[in-house]
Structure 1
Amino acid sequence: MNFASFRAFSAFRSTALAFAACASLGAQAQVTVKDAWVRATVPQQKSTTAYFQASAGTDSRLVSVTTTLTPVAELHEMAMSDGVMRMRKLDGGIALPAGKTIELKPSGQHVMLMDLAQQVKVGDKVPLTLVFEDRNGKRETQQVEATVRPLGGAAAPGAAMPAMPGMHGDHKH
C-alpha cells in the first residue's frame, strides 16, 4: 500500500468510526432524564427518596436504580387505597410511554433509598445509575447526579421543632 492509499484508507476509517459513534450515541439517547434530586435527611434517618423527570422516544420502562450512597434502592409508589395513602414497591418498574414525560415526585412514584449509613445534607450530590428497558428488551444505562435539597423548604419529618405558645405541647397533662 503506497502513502496516498494509506491516507485515503485512514480518512475513510476515521469517517466510518465517527459515523458509528454518532449512530451509537443516537441509539443510546432514547431516554432523557432531568431535574434529579434527593430529599435531605436528619441525623440518624435511615431512608430518603430520589425524584426526577424522564421521557423516552419509544415505549420504555425504568427497571432499576443503583447508587453508591446505599446498597438498597427500590422503585416505589404512593397511592390511595381504601381511603389510606399507602406505599408499595414496584417490582415491574415504571412505565415511560413514548413521547411523554413522567415525573417521579413526592406522594407519587419515587426511588426509595434505604439503609443509609450517613446523613444526606442539602447541597450534597448523589450519583444515581438508572437502567431503562425498551419494548424489545434492550437496556440503556444512564448516570445521573442528583442534588440534595429540602422537601419544599420545610423541616424533614421527625426534625425537632420548638414548642410554640398556645400549641398542645406547651402545657402539662
Structure 2
Amino acid sequence: MLKWLRRSEPKEVPAATLGPLQIVKPWARSSASEPDVGGGYMTVVNDGESDRLVSASCSAAGSVEIHAIRVKGPALEMRKQDAGLVIPPANQQILKPRGYHLLMRDLASPLLAGSKVPVTLVFEKAGSVTVDFAVEEPGAVGHVTLRSS
C-alpha cells in the first residue's frame, strides 16, 4: 500500500524575529481619501507564550496607534486599542485592512508605492524591533467613522 505524503507549503520568511515572535509580510499604504493617514499591516506569529503589541512608532508619522475595525453595514467603525493587541500563545495575530491595523496619523507626506517605511513595534514581553514595511498603492476601504474608546 502506498502512502501519500502531503507536501506542506513553504514557510514564509519573516521580515524580523524577536524572541518567539516573527513579523511576516509587513506592508503599508496611504489612505486614498486622506493622504496624511496611512495603515500598517502584518502577521505576527507567536511560537511562545502570550504577548501583547503595546505600541508602535514611525519617523514618517506624527503618531501610530493600534486600531480595530468593525464593519457596520456600509460603514466602518474604528477603535483605538489603548490596552494594545494580544498576540495569542502558539498562534498568530493578523493585522489587515478592515481588521486590526496600525493607524499612522499626520504623515509628513503620502507613503510612496514601492518604497519602505521603518516602523518600530514594542511588545510587552519580547521588547522592541524596527521593521521595514513595504509600501503599496493606496486603496479605499470604505467610509471610516472615528470613535473614541
TM-score interval w.r.t. the shorter chain? 0.7 to 0.9
What TM-score results when the alignment is normalised by the length of structure 2?
0.74
3-state SS of paired residue (2:124)? strand
Q: Is 1:96 aligned with 2:83?
A: no
Higher percent of residues as helix: 1
Give the equivalent residue in structure 2 for 1:140.
Answer: 127
The letter for the 2-side match of 1:119 is P
Unaligned regions of 5+ residues in structure 1, if any? 1-27, 158-173
CA contact (8 A) 1:43 1:119 kept: no
For residue 26 of structure 2, the aligned residue among 36, 39, 56 is 36
CA contact (8 A) 1:130 1:141 kept: yes
Higher percent of residues as strand: 2
4+ residue runs of structure 1 moved beyond 6 angstroms? none
Decide which structure has the larger Cα Rg and report it. 1
Change (3 A) 1:77 1:44: closer
Q: Deviations over 1:51-93 (max 9, x none)?
A: 0000221100000001111121000010145885310100000
Moved more, 106-115 or 54-63: 54-63
Percent identity of equivalent pairs: 29
CA contact (8 A) 1:40 1:48 kept: yes
What TM-score results when the alignment is normalised by the length of structure 1?
0.64
The letter for the 1-side match of 2:119 is L
Unaligned regions of 5+ residues in structure 2, if any? 1-17, 141-149
In structure 2, distance between residues paired with 1:85 and 1:146: 24
RMSD: 2.2
State the aligned residue count.
122
Change (3 A) 1:117 1:29: same
Query: What is the 5 A alignment of 1:72-151?
Result: 72-80=63-71, 84-134=75-125, 139-150=126-137
The letter for the 1-side match of 2:128 is T
In structure 1, distance between residues paired with 2:78 and 2:34: 22
Change (3 A) 1:117 1:97: same
